[in-house]
Amino acid sequence: MTFDAQTIKYLVIDILASTIPLATPLILAAVGGVFSDRSGVVNIGIEGMILIGSFTGVLTSYYTRNPWLGFLMAGLSGCLTAWFHALASIKYKANQTVSGVAVNIMATALTGFLLKAIFDRAGQTERVVKLARWTIPVIKDIPIVGEIIGSGPPPVYIAFIVVALAHIVMFKTVLGLRIRACGEHPEAADTAGVNVALIRYGCVMMSGFLAGLAGGTLSLGELSLFKEGMSAGKGYIALAAVIFGRWTPVGAMWASLLFALADAIQLIAQNWGFTLIPQEFMLMFPYVVTMAALAGIIGRSTGPAASGKPYVRRGV
């Protein structure tokens, strides 16, 4: 293989065009994570919510042949799962890490069980109707840019809209101010008349909804079926993106894109038969990038002060 200008151009376009869809579930889940964390609840359960979402999406599309309804149900199922986490961590003041891990274990077990019970298959479901690709009129005709984002699964575009909306909600609205207050100093918010529990419930369930959509993106946007364990750590990488993105929607988006870029490089290297580095090491690449990114900012980036701590009105 020779690396002339043309080859490099195709290579770059190929990598970037793969990056965007790979980043989409991360962006959705990470923006959700931003909401949850900013309100003061750590949501490790995102991983499980993605898994539940991807299964529910396929299940719905299987019975209704309506992938859009499936995508919506993916979000709602994530939201419902998040409600359990919210109940445990807000009402019952449980340890949020433990509760989140419980959600993840439950999600793995539940989807595995239902896969067997409903589809009577192991490993993966049969194919269902997936979301039809969107082609964006004007953009698709722009050279290079058109090849990268001119067309793609609908969740790609939805994710970027979600980022914009989340940014506005978080930093321009009254609701955003209150969410941030709950995550930084819930007692201050409480004494100012903000309903801390309500805000936290809302944010955790919002994060579940977005994680569910991330799951739907995997199973109905990219593929057209559910595979056991198909979330494959994306929830955890999304949490890393929350931190690396300094708890802002836009930052989380860029972090997701960076991690997805690493993934894309690894994939493309395989596709193009790049063998200089053994494939096993290339597979590690996205995770190494994630770790390096986090290691680089640890200590310099501080999250919401009250995140992870249940809020209890002070005693005696």
Partner 1 sequence: MGETALGAPVLEMKGITKRFPGVLANDGVDFTLLKGEIHALLGENGAGKSTLMKILYGLYMADAGSIRVEGKDVEIREPNDALRLGIGMVHQHFMLIPQFTVAENLVLGAEPTTGGVFLDMKAAIKKVKQVSEHYGLAIDPTARIMDISVGMQQRVEILKALLRGAEILVLDEPTAVLTPQEVAELFTIMRNLRERGKSIVFISHKLKEVTEISDRVTVVRRGRVVGSVQTSTTTVDALAGLMVGRAVELVVEKGPSNPGDDVLVLQDVYALDQRRLPAVKGVSLTVRGGEILGIAGVDGNGQNELVEVITGMRRATSGKVLLKGTDITNWDPRRLSGKGVVHIPADRHRHGLVLDFTVAENMVLQTYYKPPFTRGTSLNWDAIRHEARRMIEEYDVRTPSEDTRAGSLSGGNQQKVIVARELSRSPELVVAAQPTRGLDVGAIEFVHSRLVKARDEGKAVLLVSLELDEIMALADRIAVMYEGVIVGIIDRDEATEEQLGLMMAGAAGRGGR
**What residues make contact with partner 1 under the rule CB under 8 A?**
172-178, 180-181, 184-185, 187-194, 305, 313-316
Q: What gap in Å lies between CA 111 and CA 87, rounded to an integer?
A: 21
CB of 167 to partner 1, least distance (A): 13
CB of 252 to partner 1, least distance (A): 18
Give 130 or 180: the residue with its C-beta nearer to partner 1: 180
What are φ and ψ of residue 277, in 5° steps?
Answer: -105, 135
CB of 100 to partner 1, least distance (A): 22
Q: What gap in Å lies between CA 59 and CA 70, rounded to an integer?
A: 7
CA nearest to 60, candidates 219, 223, 214, 228: 219
**CB of 209 within 8 A of CB of 79?**
yes
| CA distances for 202 relative to 10, 86, 144, 217, 219, angstroms | 44, 9, 40, 22, 26
Q: What gap in Å lies between CA 70 and CA 220, rounded to an integer?
A: 8
Give 13 or 94: the residue with its C-beta nearer to partner 1: 94
Give 35 or 71: the residue with its C-beta nearer to partner 1: 35
Give 193 or 273: the residue with its C-beta nearer to partner 1: 193
Give 114 or 177: the residue with its C-beta nearer to partner 1: 177
CB of 161 to partner 1, least distance (A): 18
**CB of 226 within 8 A of CB of 55?**
yes
CB of 200 to partner 1, least distance (A): 16
